[in-house]
Structure 1
Amino acid sequence: MNKVRIATTWLDGCSGCHMSFLDVDQRLVDIADQIEIVYSPLVDALAIPDDIDVAFIEGAVSSEDDARKVRLLRERSKLLIALGDCAVTGNVSAMRNAFGVEEVLERVYCAGATGEDGVPTEDVPRLEPHASPVHSYVKVDAFLPGCPPPSDAILYMVTELLAGHVPDMLGKSRFGA
């Protein structure tokens, strides 16, 4: 039996959705023979592979690097899932949208600095003008809201996908919970 190839990533967010994914606990072991996690901050994969069956994206798109990553994941995935409120709506990450990029950088790296101040210019991806939900950049096949989504809702979505069904998430999760 071919295993379902799953990728996960987090962009501009807190990683709470990945913690909720891990909270599936023992129940992950029950489906371990059916899945292979091929890319994730939870495993040691360094490059986004080809032929991903399902990609879960946590967090808002806030930088050029985020935008590149979601486009690559969309290109290489059969199904793409927006995981959590930041990926679905922009949520907390989008609170910066009321300010310009330069104002945000100045506040973080200069006014809020306790050591050396100055906006970094090397090895830091350029911020997008706004933090945006994933669907602003690529087609999303399913949305799983929540901050973070409950582990039961994540497991339900995964098991439904494994069964070949498009999951009906109505009543399984809600924004902010």
Structure 2
Amino acid sequence: MTKPKISTDWMAGCSGCHMSLLDIDERIIKIAELADIRATPITDLKEPDEDGVDVGILEGGVNNTSNEEQAHRMRSRCKLLVAFGDCAVFGGVPAMRNYFTLEEALRRAYVETESTDSEGKIPDDPEICVPTRVRALHEVVPVDLFVPGCPPDPDVIYYVLSELAQGRIPEIKDDKLHWH
């Protein structure tokens, strides 16, 4: 039997969900025995296989045109898409930016911060992606499974990955929402 392929990526967030994934510790070996871990921020492969993967996992909100492209690419290349962590599920902390205009947020980030020198200016290079309103992943592409948490607990992550690797859709409810 062929192992299912799993790819992950992160968008607008703190990368804490992937840090929590690493916190499953030696259990990652068990997942690697069950699944073919492909492109992730922690592997050399950086994009999901062009010929597709079984499971795509995205962390972070969608806050710019590059994130939109990532979301569409992962959705088009995976059979099942997982929104991983509160930023992907709800918009999370990055969505707090939505309470301000984009100009206000950019001015604060690049001109008014205490660490900005007197030359501070808002970047305008055409190579830079265009910021957008921050959205949860399901507002951009269809999502098949939601794993909330900031970040999700390592035990929940292990449960989700092991279920997915064995071809089952995990139930995220009751103690799986708040593992202790």
Partner residue, 2:13: 13
Alignment of 1:78-117 (within 5 A): 78-112=79-113, 113-115=115-117, 116-117=119-120
Q: Give the letter aligned to residue 89 of structure 1.
A: F
Partner residue, 2:134: 131
State the distance in 1 between where 2:15 and 2:122 align. Answer: 24
Q: 5+ residue gaps in structure 2?
A: none
Asked if 2 retains the 8 angstrom alpha-carbon contact of 1:70 and 1:138, the reply is yes
Partner residue, 1:155: 158
Partner residue, 1:60: 61
Secondary structure, counterpart of 1:39 in structure 2: coil
Partner residue, 1:144: 147
| Residues 43 and 89 of structure 1, relative CA distance in 2, 3 Å threshold | same
Indicate whether 1:25 and 2:22 are aligned: no
Percent identity of paired positions between Structure 1 and Structure 2: 41
Q: 5+ residue gaps in structure 1?
A: none
Runs of 4+ residues deviating >6 angstroms: none
1:36 shift after superposition = 1.8
Asked if 2 retains the 8 angstrom alpha-carbon contact of 1:2 and 1:34, the reply is no
Q: Which moved more, 1:65-74 or 1:157-166?
A: 157-166
Q: Tell me the number of residue pairs that the alignment of Structure 1 and Structure 2 aligns.
A: 174
State the distance in 2 between where 1:139 and 1:31 align. Answer: 25
Partner residue, 1:45: 45
Partner residue, 1:173: 177
Q: Give the letter aligned to residue 140 of structure 1.
A: V
